[in-house]
Structure formats: structure tokens, C-alpha cells
């Protein structure tokens, strides 16, 4: 392997989330690796997700980070996967500073299976907000493929018009992913390059994605290629308490509706699904909202 940067033993030496881009110098093919440790565990803390939902959400966290790492302006992207299956909703949100948050809805005891069975017929929706946009951009594509990686390969092939491959893995301790994309002109540089790199990457195992650092993984998969690894970027879980958001929502539904809820329940309780925070307001707090 060519210029690979500083020595790296494995991701277990650092428990922080990381994303690291790399480039095949002689092939016009780019790639990226992501690994989420404490970032991922913080996201699922206090949530009793079935294993199938947990793995899909972790894979979504990985691919969302890989795509968000390419944001060129200040902004935020959100992916929603909606369907009619036993896991009807997956949501992941990441900003240009790689601050991540997300959630899933799943039937209790759902078991592993193809994506088409777990989510059923549905759609993948991207919402993109950047500093140079007057209003958010949205795109929708039908869910296609039996894995989350296949669904995003289809989405990226449509949206970016570039050949793209993804490998994703997640368990309760970590989530990880590997991304490859052929740049325009890659075939002119090396007619067999894209096929060769895909074949080599296809040998990766889930335990390698979850247990090896970028240098070790790239060196294992592409030992004969000239690969330049760029500096890693940290990825954090960021979902703080935000009472102002809840107060604005309550004001929007109106005083009479809030007072009706108080009369029936004695308080207003609001659960923020994506951050897993609970907000409770008594009569005095609600009255203060409408002063």
C-alpha cells in the first residue's frame, strides 16, 4: 500500500467515532471508511431495539456518516426509510460537523430477514438543508434490494450517476462501513480497475469492518494498490435536551388544547423520539408559555 499515514493498530485503541477518506491514486477511485463506537452506543442507550432493528439502524448510521462527510456547505442531511413491514421507520440525521442522531420503530421480537421483508414496500427519502438553500431539498426513491447497502447503492447510482459500492455492519458495540466510488474517467485510467477493486473489497468480513482500523483494513483489502489515506474526522452523537423546541410545538397547538390535556392528565408529557428525551410540563409551566 502507498501513502497510508501514521501507523494504526485497530479501532479498539480509540473508542471515538471516526470517518476516513482514501483515494486510489492510479485508478481515479475514491473510498471512505467509518467506524462508530461510543457514538453508536450513546445513540442506542436506553432503547430496547430488537437485534434486527438495531443492526439496520447501525448500518444507516454508518452510510449516513459516509455521505454527510462529503457535504461542502454548512448544513444537515436526513435519511428516512419508511415501509409497511415489521420495521416501518428508520431515521438518521447528520450535519456537516458529523454530529449524528437517529431512531427506529420496530415490532417487538422482529427477527432478521431481507430488507424487503423487514420494511416492506416503501421509500428512501433524503432531506438536505444547506446554508445556500432557501428551502430544504428532498428526493424520494423506492426501496430496492435485500440489504441496506444495496438500497443505498441504488439510491447513489441514481442521484450521483457514478458506480458505487457499500459494505455495512453493526452490532450492539459498534457500527462500521466501507464506501467505494468510481470517479468520471476511471475506466480510461485502468479498464479493469473498478472490477478489481470491487472484487477485493467484496472479501471484507463484518468482523473486519467492526474490528480493524482504516489503515489495517485498507492494507488487508488492497495490498497491491497505491492508496492515499486522508486524516480522520471525528463523528459524535449529538442530541441534547431542547426545551425551546417543545415549547414552540405546544404554542403552535394553542392554549385551549394544552389546557384540555392538563385537565385530563394533570400534566403534559412529550417524548422526543429521535433523541429519546422526555419532557414534562405542569400547569404553571404551561401558563408561562402563553403569557
Crossing angle, helix 51-68 and helix 148-160, to 10 degrees?
30
pTM above 0.85, yes or no: yes
* Sign (positive or negative) of CA dihedral 267, 273, 276, 277: negative
Distance CA 286, CA 280 (A): 10
Convert 201-224 to b/e letters by CB count within 10 Å (16 or more is b): beebeeebbbbbbbbbbbbebbee
- pLDDT tens profile 103-128: 999 988 888 888 988 998 889 999 99
Please state the rounded mean pLDDT for residues 25-30. 92
| Range in 5-14, 63-72, 180-189, 204-213 with the lowest mean pLDDT | 5-14
pLDDT at position 42 is: 94
Q: pLDDT grade, residue 4 (50/70/90)? A: very low
Distance from C-alpha of 60 to C-alpha of 91, rounded to nearest angstrom: 8
User: Can you give the pLDDT at residue 231?
Assistant: 94
Task: Please name each of the domains of the chain with its CATH number.
Answer: 11-237 (3.55.30.10), 243-289 (3.90.1280.10)
Amino acid at each position: 500500500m502507498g501513502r497510508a499515514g501514521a501507523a494504526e493498530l485497530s479501532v479498539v485503541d480509540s473508542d471515538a467515532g471516526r470517518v476516513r477518506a482514501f483515494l486510489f491514486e492510479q485508478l481515479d477511485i475514491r473510498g471512505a471508511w467509518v467506524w462508530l463506537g461510543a457514538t453508536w452506543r450513546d445513540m442506542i442507550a436506553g432503547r430496547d431495539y430488537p437485534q434486527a432493528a438495531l443492526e439496520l439502524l447501525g448500518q444507516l448510521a454508518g452510510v449516513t456518516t459516509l455521505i454527510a462527510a462529503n457535504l461542502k456547505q454548512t448544513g444537515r442531511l436526513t435519511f428516512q426509510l419508511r415501509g409497511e413491514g415489521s420495521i416501518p421507520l428508520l431515521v438518521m440525521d447528520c450535519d456537516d460537523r458529523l454530529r449524528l442522531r437517529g431512531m427506529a420503530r420496530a415490532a417487538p421480537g422482529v427477527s432478521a430477514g431481507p430488507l424487503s421483508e423487514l420494511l416492506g414496500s416503501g421509500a428512501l427519502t433524503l432531506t438536505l438543508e444547506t446554508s445556500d438553500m432557501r428551502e430544504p431539498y428532498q428526493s424520494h426513491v423506492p426501496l430496492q434490494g435485500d440489504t441496506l447497502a444495496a438500497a443505498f447503492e441504488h439510491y447513489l447510482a441514481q442521484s450521483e450517476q457514478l458506480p458505487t459500492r457499500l459494505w455495512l455492519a453493526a452490532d450492539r458495540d459498534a457500527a462500521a462501513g466501507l464506501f467505494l466510488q468510481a470517479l468520471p474517467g476511471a475506466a480510461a485510467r485502468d479498464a479493469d480497475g473498478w472490477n478489481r477493486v470491487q472484487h477485493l473489497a467484496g472479501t471484507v468480513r463484518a468482523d473486519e469492518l467492526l474490528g480493524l482500523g482504516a489503515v489495517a483494513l485498507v492494507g488487508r483489502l488492497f495490498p497491491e494498490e497505491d492508496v492515499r489515506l486522508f486524516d480522520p474526522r471525528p463523528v459524535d452523537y449529538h442530541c441534547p435536551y431542547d426545551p425551546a423546541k417543545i415549547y414552540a410545538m405546544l404554542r403552535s397547538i394553542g392554549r385551549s388544547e394544552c389546557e384540555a390535556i392538563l385537565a385530563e392528565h394533570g400534566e403534559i408529557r412529550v417524548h422526543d423520539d429521535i433523541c429519546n428525551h422526555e419532557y414534562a410540563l405542569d400547569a404553571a409551566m404551561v401558563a408561562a408559555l402563553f403569557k
